[in-house]
Structure 1
């Protein structure tokens, strides 16, 4: 019956982890989009959109609204192109996301389209006028112009500040004929009367849930996501559907160990990290490590209290400021630290680099002096941003360490460094070969994504299980591995799709 109500179209993240864009379309014609993200690396959509060709390749005239799950570029980066294609509806998001989205897209437009201030201001004015903040946990109806009622609700997803999963509810007046001959008695159960005639109608709702990116339990700063009561159809991310993360205590210990190892030879530890989410989590954990070890040494002659943490990203600095301003959305642990007088996102050992000239000076200084310090810079997949200059300068120095704390998509420099670096290989950046002599480390536990167990439990804890699960936002092996575990643990009757 669900197929007679709605159609789900996937315009991205079907066979990879970027370009998230999903459409819920009513049989009457209108539809809504959940996310409209940018592709990265070698990933692309069925319609041919890619990082190189990001223009919208699907019809938008019938799209009544855009709902965004969170503000990472792989979920919102194509919004300027969506607006250019004629989309004029509201952009619904959580209240924190409403504060973050203009900054994210201003930076993206400056990097990819124009630095003209007048054009940027014109775009931002139009964008801000479209943004409609929605409190968590409240149903909001979208005017479809049809007899069908379409509403949605945002719930905290625990991925980054403002992240949400989206529950959609479609209500439509249906007849016994719509239900089919094998369902003739079911409306009687719904309305508590005798079996109806073929003309009898009854309001029936269908629930569709879009997970966006789910966070892992016990992640820094944010509460863990809670499973909803029910879903008929679940569109579920599967980024880490084939692996399990380390526990919070173990990964914090591993982070400390890697920092101490990296500093023994007085070299630099580079951590590529997205400006929003991962950067703030790392700062939070590093502040805690420094606090716990304030009377100990990170390396010979270098007390933890004197270790410099360089945040080289103006955008990350602005996001971190917003994170601090929105403490009401932090979890209990983070709130307790603030009440105890600590400053998890603005501590004494932090140095923030804003100006580009200062960034270039820092890169040159570290190349010549190899001062022991930790540098956090974007982008998280090394596909752009200030981290690229650090990599060019320091990849060939055996005193350098590089720590990956997030997923590296196919076709990105980060994936190549992670794959070939441990074997003394090289990476191509901006058309030039760079030998990798730096030591390479990976901590998957600091991913802001749920792992296989978290994803299975998210479904298991629903009181009314979905009839169908569509696995998106994951490489093929990850989707297949997650599907196999879900089928085994949640029942053979559950329909799981990995291809569309």
Structure 2
């Protein structure tokens, strides 16, 4: 068996790993390469394998640098299952269609220039139709299920705490009656984040593939970050300026809204005039937020409890979602203190570029970056301190204050990464360090080799490694005791939630329900009752 690193190798983009065994070929992730022109050109080089020969795919999460070439994969002949968590499937329904639209629009724009220059025209990497077709290959999974793909391969998704539905993959592969265990960290998150659960700690692995985005960075304290954001908003508003927050439509936007909801809704000291208007100007953010609300099962307990108490954590009085182009344009026709949260998170595309064009030159305004900025992106250029930038064909002076609140990052920092790797009770015999830039990876490599005495490798792009089975140990997927404990825990959790629901005034909750919503809730209740009957029959049979 071998693994080939076809993306996210010495770079933070294009995640794609090919596993080849005696019996199977499958991939982990299939992401777009994002960044400068040189990096994005990799998308046009084609796959380093025949998509028709790939048996199945496992997807860690919905972010485009992990999922964005799936429509191309299907377009070129892949017909297998794409296993992902339920939230990931729901978010990919939004993100892949949006990505296809961007592919079509960018190609149309580029072809106009090519036509004038007498150059041959390009085709989009894939179309909306290709994206729609690829969605038929997805198969929904839940955390902690052990999925038997076939007699040789089984896997389990565990919560990675990065975005909703993000997963760590535990993978058991059997060849010649010997089983090798691989663990893919995916993108790991920080502990104690809003909405999300903490990353799951894994016990053992033969081989570990771990991200290193912030492998040499310590994030600022979470509470300090929120206070700093509020301070920036208040100070900028006092000057009559605008705060622009380029934010990823999936994950970061919802996280910021959640934090602002908590600040404005539960802070009695805030006067009405201090409630600065907050605008979320991103149609995809709105759709993603709806997907979040359809997957509250995956929220952490604090967020679940707020929802059970009737708090829509993504709404508050001074928040407004912008959907139409006309409303978006209108935001820049009048100057008044406000916050505009808009995608893309690296400011390389989308409506945020228009808002930057109209506010970067204003010394009273501010731009706040809340996530990773890849090399070559407008966000990275602004953080690097350029005096002027070209946006939408126009040179714009940079006079607004530029802030980088990397504590909002969805990625684990060096202490968290080290703690997670160190938690393995049986250490991997080899660790592959991926998804990081050169400096971060080198420092993380030193930390893992010197501090934890691990055998580490930083793979080159397209490099291949043989993976040998562990002759000394066979890893159990899950013990009988764990299975029993987990099932009892799940049942107790459901009973508790049902008690909480029963205590609510259901006549108020359902008084305005329409036929469509009635049918949806009725179907969900019927599924719950059906599953409860299955569980009842199982328990009764075990008693006999």
Q: Normalising by the residue count of structure 1, what TM-score does the alignment of the two structures yield?
A: 0.84
Match for residue 375 of structure 2?
410
Q: How far apart are 1:280 and its partner, in Å? A: 0.4
Instruction: Kindly report which structure 2 residues correspond to 1:453-492, keeping only aligned pairs within 5 A, or say none.
Output: 453-491=415-453
Match for residue 150 of structure 1?
153
Match for residue 504 of structure 2?
none
- SS for the counterpart of 2:297 is helix
Give per-residue Cα distances to partners, 1:26-66, cap 9 Å, x unaligned.
1x263211111111112767xx9535x37434332321111
Residues 1:394 and 2:388 are matched in the alignment: no
d(CA) in 2 for partners of 1:114, 1:86:
24
- SS for the counterpart of 1:303 is helix
Match for residue 301 of structure 2?
332
Instruction: Kindly report which structure 2 residues correspond to 1:17-166, keeping only aligned pairs within 5 A, or say none.
Output: 17-26=12-21, 28=22, 30-42=24-36, 49-50=41-42, 53=44, 55-113=46-104, 122-123=129-130, 125-143=132-150, 149-166=152-169
d(CA) in 1 for partners of 2:424, 2:399:
48
Give per-residue Cα distances to partners, 1:112-161, cap 9 Å, x unaligned.
13799xx9674355223211111211222334xxxx71221111111111
d(CA) in 1 for partners of 2:42, 2:2:
24
* Unaligned 5+ runs, structure 1: 1-5, 174-202
Q: How far apart are 1:225 and its partner, in Å? A: 1.0
Residues 1:348 and 2:317 are matched in the alignment: yes
Q: Which structure: greater helix fraction?
A: 2
d(CA) in 1 for partners of 2:185, 2:129:
32
Q: How far apart are 1:309 and its partner, in Å? A: 0.9
Q: How far apart are 1:11 and its partner, in Å? A: 1.0
User: Residues 58, 120 of structure 1: CA spacing in aligned structure 2 closer, same or farther, 3 A cutoff?
Assistant: closer
Give per-residue Cα distances to partners, 1:43-97, cap 9 Å, x unaligned.
767xx9535x374343323211111111111111111111122111111100111
Give per-residue Cα distances to partners, 1:408-454, cap 9 Å, x unaligned.
00010010011115xxx112334542210010011111001111111
Aligned residues: 442
d(CA) in 1 for partners of 2:47, 2:178:
34
**Alpha-carbon contact 1:230-1:466 (below 8 Å) kept:** yes
d(CA) in 1 for partners of 2:393, 2:459:
34
User: Residues 122, 436 of structure 1: CA spacing in aligned structure 2 closer, same or farther, 3 A cutoff?
Assistant: closer
Higher mean C-alpha deviation, range 57-66 or range 395-404: 57-66
Match for residue 192 of structure 1?
none
d(CA) in 2 for partners of 1:358, 1:249:
33
Residues 1:375 and 2:340 are matched in the alignment: yes
Find the partner of 1:218 among 192, 198, 204.
192
d(CA) in 2 for partners of 1:217, 1:311:
26
Match for residue 4 of structure 2?
9
User: Residues 43, 142 of structure 1: CA spacing in aligned structure 2 closer, same or farther, 3 A cutoff?
Assistant: farther
**Alpha-carbon contact 2:246-2:368 (below 8 Å) kept:** yes
d(CA) in 2 for partners of 1:314, 1:271:
15
**Alpha-carbon contact 1:40-1:50 (below 8 Å) kept:** no
Q: How far apart are 1:163 and its partner, in Å? A: 0.6
**Alpha-carbon contact 1:209-1:231 (below 8 Å) kept:** yes
User: Residues 114, 66 of structure 1: CA spacing in aligned structure 2 closer, same or farther, 3 A cutoff?
Assistant: farther
User: Residues 120, 415 of structure 1: CA spacing in aligned structure 2 closer, same or farther, 3 A cutoff?
Assistant: closer
- SS for the counterpart of 1:481 is helix
Q: How far apart are 1:235 and its partner, in Å? A: 0.8
User: Residues 25, 57 of structure 1: CA spacing in aligned structure 2 closer, same or farther, 3 A cutoff?
Assistant: closer
User: Residues 43, 30 of structure 1: CA spacing in aligned structure 2 closer, same or farther, 3 A cutoff?
Assistant: farther
- SS for the counterpart of 2:171 is strand
Give per-residue Cα distances to partners, 1:185-240, cap 9 Å, x unaligned.
xxxxxxxxxxxxxxxxxx32111111111111011101011111211111111111
d(CA) in 2 for partners of 1:479, 1:163:
22
Q: How far apart are 1:342 and its partner, in Å? A: 2.6
